[in-house]
Amino acid sequence: MNQWTLVYEGFDPQQEGLREAMCTLGNGYFATRGAGPEAAADNIHYPGTYLSGGYNRLKTEIAGKSIENEDLVNMPNWLPLNFRIGSRNWFNLMAVDLISYRQELDLKEGILRRRFRFRDSQGRQTQVTCRRLVHMQNPHYGAQELTLTAENWSGPVEFCTALDGRVINAGVERYKQLNNNHLEPLATRMIDAEAIYLEVQTNQSKLRVSQAARTRVYQDGQLLEIERKLIEKPRYIAQHFNLDLKEGREVLIEKAMAMYTSRDRGISECGLAAQEALQRCVSFAALHESHTLAWEQLWRRFEIEFQSNDVSETDDEYITMVLHLYIFHLLQTTSMHTMDLDVGVPSRGWHGEAYRGHIFWDELFVFPFLNLRLHEITRALLQYRFRRLNEARFNARQYGYRGALYPWQSGSSGREESQKIHLNPRSRRWIPDNTYLQFHVNSAIAYNVYHYFQVTRDLEFLAFFGAEMMLEIARFWGSIATYNPSLERYEILGVMGPDEYHDRYPDREEPGLDNNAYTNLMAVWVLSRTLELFDLLPEDRSLELCKSLELQKAEMERWRDISHKMFVPFHDDGIISQFQGYEQLAEFDWDGYRKKYGDIQRLDRILEAEGDTPNRYKVSKQADVLMLFYLFSSEQLRELFEQLGYPFAYETIPKNIDYYLKRTSHGSTLSRVAHSWVLVRSDRAGSWQLFNQALASDIADIQGGTTPEGIHLGAMAGVVDLMQRAYTGVETRGNVLLFNPFLPKELGKLHLRIRYRCHSLEITLTPDKLRIEALEFPAGPIRIGVRGNVFELKRGETIEVSLA
Ligand code: BGC
């Protein structure tokens, strides 16, 4: 291992699912799991290929009900490239004696490599090396190379290269009872002697997908002309060919693939486009060159460097490698190519089938990192939400509210995609899923619009897209809030906060909780910021919006009123109650359950299987109240509380953190990111420990089996963002770029490059100095605030501030 390489030594069937997820290659347009080219889906391997936003809906009869799910479809497998040496059986890792095995993911170049040697039952020793890429510059290409060396034998070898559309969605055990056959055949044919073609279509969304693949064989650098046999079956096409290999000689097989869909733009027809692209593709070497150049350019924008300090035991190389790995997966999910697509941020990447490729609120953890690096991606992702504004309006109306309510889970059209019932794998019971009540997702979207604007001051975006989303979201909060005369305050009743362990009161029939503090305060924040941004709009645009949205002064007055009189529940002298009545819940026997179950991250499943429910206890799956401290600085929170007329003392922050941290099981990978963040300033050691646990989320699959089903993108981006924003204390507020640095004692130096309002800034932070260099960019001066002092920074200038 080094900073740029993830290495796996030896083959471990138990680990293979995890490795496939971690070695997924993608480019924002499609992604392919890191399964070997010989692997078919079985209980060890799962070679999935997914198109960004490639969804399809299917109905299933379950527990007496017909339920419909929208899935991220497992698309035809373009990988198959296998061989058999003088036998009937195709090569299978499990059936040979492996002499050595090493798999490497090169993060700098975006190349997956595999090298192994094996001995078969006849004593023949063979060496195989593979390389694979999913092209970062031209998103339609994928390519593989396989070299086979006969070490101590001579004889015939048969090869098979295929495009296999007979795949189903079977990547998640819990979903196996649901219908999962999404593809129907359209065409298979030979393009020419070297190339084959497959076309399929999703059976409900009617997305046509075309793959064209060319396989070439080389020996001693010479292209071989070989005879091939064509095999065609519905949704499957392959070529078989034979070679005679001499002892000590090697043969190189190259497979290039081009994929287009009926959703692509700038083409006549996807089948034609795939075939033309394949013809224009020269070689693996040529693809490799342009691919690594694209990665080099990405890394220049996204790199984060840090050094631990002399005395700490921090393993710089390991941490840097994992940070690179997480940035790598982020950029394979949302890349430059996202800008031309209509997709959101899938909580599990395009790396597997967990959560069906749906879009949740996780973008709240992803956008800040992207905003300060390549906000063009964030803009495109916000457009995904804008295009679904009408559906969100419809959703709000369904519940009897005005404005827009974005769904908790979003897919193709932006309708609510949350499951109606979900399976508890522990009890095997199907239970009602009330997570759709997490209306707070609405505020996350408004928060993202606002912060995109703070970083870019992109008034065009705000005027034409952002403002309308914010106004409609504000209108929703304005309509759901009800006035309680006895409290003389507004309330929000019957919702869920981010903590999914609580979906109802133990003694109430209907789901939902009252006055979730996070939801209420976020609503206040959204209403206030919307009113503020509205005043920034060019007058003609605000008039247009008022007319088309029938927005009147009185309604905005009501928003202002709510934003000053929202109810926030408290208990125990300054503890913000997660929701009204929280203090009446029972304390939980944490030690007893830890002793009994060991891993209690998913307490909801454990308790349900016992016939109990987390609703009865003071337990949280993840940060809920504490999300407020994650999203807002203490000054911002003080402003919010003062606006509402609640006393706010800084001392209550550590008290609240301590209170909820003790009562949280971290059943979501997002939780440790938020908790590490909120501890940065009050408990450096505790924060660093949580940082390291959050860092381990995916690489070590700390939830014990969820990463093979898909990465946790929010946690990945959130961890990187801890380095970027939590330790530098960077904040984009008003027209000032604020820094309030706070390095953990383990870190000696942090270096990063961020973009802010058309400037490119090199930031170097050490415990005693902050250095900010504005590169030569054609942009006017900006204002930089460091711990209360404000400086003007012009292009080409550098400021250094002592932190001693
Ligand atoms: C978490 C949610 C998150 C979702 C998708 C759930 O386990 O509780 O907060 O949005 O996973 O990542």
pLDDT confidence band for 108 (50 / 70 / 90): very high
Q: How far is the CA of 668 from the centre of ligand 1 (A)?
A: 6
pLDDT confidence band for 62 (50 / 70 / 90): confident
Average pLDDT for residues 58-83, to the nearest whole number?
Answer: 95
Cβ 622 under 6 angstroms from ligand 1: yes
Q: How far is the CA of 498 from the centre of ligand 1 (A)?
A: 8
Average pLDDT for residues 441-449, to the nearest whole number?
Answer: 98
Cβ 709 under 6 angstroms from ligand 1: no
CB 560 within 8 A of CB 510: no
CB 198 within 8 A of CB 76: yes
Please report the pLDDT score of residue 43 as a whole number.
94
User: Using CA atoms, how far apart are residues 468 and 534, in angstroms rounded to an integer?
Assistant: 10
Q: Which atom belonging to ligand 1 lies closest to the Cα atom of 498? A: 9
Is 235 a residue whose pLDDT tops 90?
yes
Cβ 718 under 6 angstroms from ligand 1: no
Geometric angle at alpha carbon 50, from 46 and 52, rounded to 5°: 155
Output DSSP code: residue 340.
Answer: G
CB 360 within 8 A of CB 409: yes
pTM tops 0.95: yes
Q: How far is the CA of 354 from the centre of ligand 1 (A)?
A: 11
Return the residue whose CA atom lies nearest to atom 12 of ligand 1: 347
Task: Please state, as a whole number, how many other Cβ atoms lie within 10 Å of the Cβ of residue 20.
Answer: 25
Task: Please state, as a whole number, how many other Cβ atoms lie within 10 Å of the Cβ of residue 790.
Answer: 11
Cβ 362 under 6 angstroms from ligand 1: yes
Q: How far is the CA of 672 from the centre of ligand 1 (A)?
A: 13
Please report the pLDDT score of residue 788 as a whole number.
87
Catalytic residues, by residue number, are: 500
Q: Which atom belonging to ligand 1 lies closest to the Cα atom of 362? A: 10
Cβ 360 under 6 angstroms from ligand 1: yes
Buried b (16+ CB within 10 A) or exposed e, 651-690: ebbeebbebbbebbbbbbbbbbbbbbbbbbbebeebbbeb
Task: Please state, as a whole number, how many other Cβ atoms lie within 10 Å of the Cβ of residue 770.
Answer: 22
The tens digit of pLDDT for each residue in 415-428 reads 999 998 888 999 99
Task: Please state, as a whole number, how many other Cβ atoms lie within 10 Å of the Cβ of residue 372.
Answer: 24
Return the residue whose CA atom lies nearest to atom 1 of ligand 1: 668
Q: Which of 533, 569, 417, 555 is nearest to 477 (CA)?
A: 555
pLDDT confidence band for 352 (50 / 70 / 90): very high
Burial of 764 (0-12, 13-18, 19+ CB in 10 A): middle
Average pLDDT for residues 8-22, to the nearest whole number?
Answer: 98
Q: How far is the CA of 360 from the centre of ligand 1 (A)?
A: 7
Q: How far is the CA of 166 from the centre of ligand 1 (A)?
A: 31
Q: Which of 584, 572, 585 is nearest to 614 (CA)?
A: 585
Cβ 500 under 6 angstroms from ligand 1: yes
Cβ 670 under 6 angstroms from ligand 1: yes
Q: Is 23 helix (H, G, I), strand (E, B) or coil?
A: coil
CB 131 within 8 A of CB 145: yes
Read off φ and ψ for residue 269, nearest 5 degrees.
-160, 145
CB 29 within 8 A of CB 140: yes
Please report the pLDDT score of residue 172 as a whole number.
95
Q: Which atom belonging to ligand 1 lies closest to the Cα atom of 499? A: 8
pLDDT confidence band for 244 (50 / 70 / 90): very high
Return the residue whose CA atom lies nearest to atom 11 of ligand 1: 668
Give the residue, out of 363, 364, 408, 668, with the most ligand 1 atoms within 8 A of its beta carbon, to mutate for a pocket test. Answer: 668
Return the residue whose CA atom lies nearest to atom 2 of ligand 1: 668
Give the residue, out of 437, 624, 670, with the most ligand 1 atoms within 8 A of its beta carbon, to mutate for a pocket test. Answer: 670
Return the residue whose CA atom lies nearest to atom 8 of ligand 1: 668
Q: Is 690 helix (H, G, I), strand (E, B) or coil?
A: helix
Q: In the block, which residue shows the tokens 């869909």? A: 261
Q: How far is the CA of 128 from the centre of ligand 1 (A)?
A: 40
Q: How far is the CA of 623 from the centre of ligand 1 (A)?
A: 11
Please report the pLDDT score of residue 310 as a whole number.
74
The tens digit of pLDDT for each residue in 721-757 reads 999 999 999 999 989 999 999 999 899 999 999 999 9
Q: Which of 456, 418, 332 is nearest to 710 (CA)?
A: 332
Average pLDDT for residues 716-725, to the nearest whole number?
Answer: 97
Q: Outline where 491-599 has alpha helix (H).
A: 517-534, 539-548, 553-565, 590-597
Cβ 604 under 6 angstroms from ligand 1: no
Cβ 430 under 6 angstroms from ligand 1: no
Return the residue whose CA atom lies nearest to atom 6 of ligand 1: 668
In order of 34, 460, 619, 637, the CA distances from 736 in angstroms are 44, 20, 39, 18
